[in-house]
Amino acid sequence: MAQVIVVTSGKGGVGKTTSSAAFATGLAQRGKKTVVIDFDVGLRNLDLIMGVERRVVFDIVNVIQGEAKLNQALIRDKRVDGLSILPASQTRDKDALTREGVQGIIEELSKEFDYILCDSPAGIEKGALLALYFADAAVVVTNPEVSSVRDSDRILGVLQSKSKRAEEGKEPVKQHLLLTRYDPARVERGEMLKLDDVLEILAIPLLGVIPESESVLKASNSGNPVILDSDSPAGQAYADAVARFLGEEKPHRFIEAEKKKGFFGRLFGGRAA
Amino acid sequence: MPESFRLRASNYSLLTLRLLTGRIEEVLPALGDQFQKAPGFLRFAPIAIGLDELGDDRVDFPALIQGLRALEILPIGVTGGTQMQRAAAAGAGLPTLRPAGQKETEVQAPAPVAAPPVAMNPPPAAPAPTPAPLAAAARTLVVEQNIRAGQRVHAQGADLVVIGTVNAGAEVIADGNVHIYGALRGRAVAGAGDDGEARIFAQIFDPELVAIAGFYAVRDGLSGTPIGRGAIVRLEGEQLRFSPIG
């Protein structure tokens, strides 16, 4: 049986799709057969971040409505073996998704894949509820900022009450915190919430801290998941997070501000990218 | 002498359990079945027992009360029925309730009872202190988890104990006292059934709003209170008072 992971946040723009793309790619890099589903019907982005937008023929709504077979809609990644993308529809809205339809897709994907990642839309409406309904595990993407933390708290409550596991009284959805866009220097200046503050409020295990990094935007615009950029701190941080998800022990990095550069460093050193 | 109490007439929406038979050995299992399907539904809800459909059936009220309490339903009185039935109920500690809008003189005759609206939420708290139901003291709802933004816990007719944090955007309500062994960062309402004696206790006091019996304070009004420390909130007259714990 495949494990179903929802990547969710409540709030928009915190890095769900970036994290979904990086996480799925990372799992596949480690030999896990992985498919990532874009649940943001109407605002599809995942295909752009994954760099497959020119190969989209059918999408999840076509499959649910019986207009295409699942295999016709799945896009195989050309960079990493065992990685597939199921894109969202650009032209429909979230009402085109049904619980039965999603269930059918997840059951069929379970036969072929080890991990099914569901990239949730923002909000707590139908699309987000369907994305998390079948989850075994949740990666809650949060920025070090009060409104993001509040919305993550809300979505954790929704996971506790509205997931299939909750409704059937099974073992609860396993929750992981992924703190993204973390800038230790701004934390030190008191402009961002501290990691410890976020952990205290949300009270779930920390999967990883992804530092704010220019490489993320560059990666998104070029359609290469940032985890493929193993030189960038963000790429390394995602690789660590995937390793931790698979049970490895990795010390957390990118939490402390870098030491002030010396005179020569300031003179010659560029920015960390 | 300072005023020590006030009597006010208040109207409440109550759920009525209309008995269709006097054989409570049939009523209780059927109720239990229904409640198993919806755990938490009506938990600690006060309820009136409607006797109109019974005819002359006799009811074993002590056993009925015991059975309902085991299901976490709190019977507080009876309505309708024959004089005999009402006397039996009164003997078991269930007074006769008058449906609102009826004159006192009509109470003698078994009157048709209009089904009251179902109210799961407390009526908006108005500053009209009435004695708390006696059963409240004996009841406590214990929640052993964090309460997250958007979640709402209501201990009807009971005290509420939260072992964990009440996060910002969450709401805890009790008809009795509220105890929070953790941080209170959201809203806490005690004495929601207009019990001005109720208090709020929090180990780390950092709330968005606190209210007792309808008197409330928002965070902006809480300067000078023990923010970030252990605190007790109680009502003195129409003023909320805040004192540190320990």
Question: What is the full per-residue pLDDT of chain A (273 aa) written as tens digits?
Answer: 899 999 999 999 999 999 999 999 999 999 999 999 999 998 989 999 999 998 998 999 999 999 999 999 999 999 999 999 999 988 888 888 999 999 999 999 999 999 999 999 999 999 999 999 999 999 999 999 999 999 999 999 999 999 999 999 999 999 999 999 999 999 999 999 999 999 999 999 999 999 999 999 999 999 999 999 999 999 999 999 999 999 999 999 999 887 655 565 555 554 544
Write down the pLDDT at residue B113: 39
Q: Do B149 and A158 touch (CB under 8 A)?
A: no
pLDDT (mean) for B79-98: 84
Q: Which of B149, B151, B165 sits opposite A150 (nearest CB)?
A: B149
Domains along chain B with CATH numbers:
15-91 (3.30.70.260), 138-244 (2.160.20.70)
Residue B133, exposed/middle/buried by CB under 10 A (0-12, 13-18, 19+)?
middle
pLDDT of residue B95: 85
Cα–Cα dist A156/A220, whole Å? 27
Q: Which pLDDT value is given to residue B134?
A: 45
Give the pLDDT confidence score for residue B204 in this predicted structure.
96
Of residues A111, A27, A130, the one with CA closest to residue A70: A111
Q: Is 50 exceeded by the pLDDT of residue B126?
A: no
Q: How confident is residue B100, by pLDDT bands cut at 50, 70 and 90? A: low
**What pLDDT does residue B18 have?**
85
Q: Test A157 with B150 for CB contact under 8 angstroms.
A: yes
3-state secondary structure of A153: helix
pTM reported for the whole predicted model? 0.67
Residue B42 is predicted with a pLDDT of 63
* Nearest CA-CA distance, residue A259 and chain B, Å: 33
Q: Which tens digit of pLDDT belongs to each residue from B167-218?
A: 999 999 999 999 999 999 999 999 998 899 999 999 999 999 999 999 999 9
Query: Which residue is it, tokens 């230790």?
Result: A184
pLDDT at A25: 98
Letter string b/e over residues A17-27, b meaning 16 or more CB atoms within 10 A of that residue's CB: bbbbbbbbbbb
Q: How many CA atoms lie within 13 A of A217 on its CB side?
A: 6
Using CA coordinates, name the residue in chain A closest to B38. A167
pLDDT for position A190: 93
Q: Is A53 on the interface with B (CB under 8 A)?
A: no
pLDDT at B73 over 60: yes
Would you place residue B117 in the very low, low, confident or very high pLDDT band (cuts 50, 70, 90)?
very low
| Pairwise CA distance, residues B143 & B120, whole Å | 19
State residue B124's pLDDT score: 40
What is the complex's ipTM, to 2 decimals? 0.71
Contact list in B for residue A150 (CB cut-off 8 A) is 149, 168-169
Is 60 exceeded by the pLDDT of residue B102? no
Q: What percent of chain B has pLDDT over 70?
A: 78
Looking at per-residue pLDDT, the higher value among B121 and B226 belongs to B226
Mean pLDDT estimate for chain B:
80
- Distance, CA of B173 to CA of B188 (rounded, Å): 6
Q: How far does the CA of residue B150 sit from the closest CA of chain A (Å)?
A: 6
Higher pLDDT, B133 or A219: A219
CB proximity under 8 Å: A 93-152 to B: 124, 150-151
Closest CA to A172 of A127, A204, A211: A204
Q: What is the pLDDT at residue B140?
A: 92
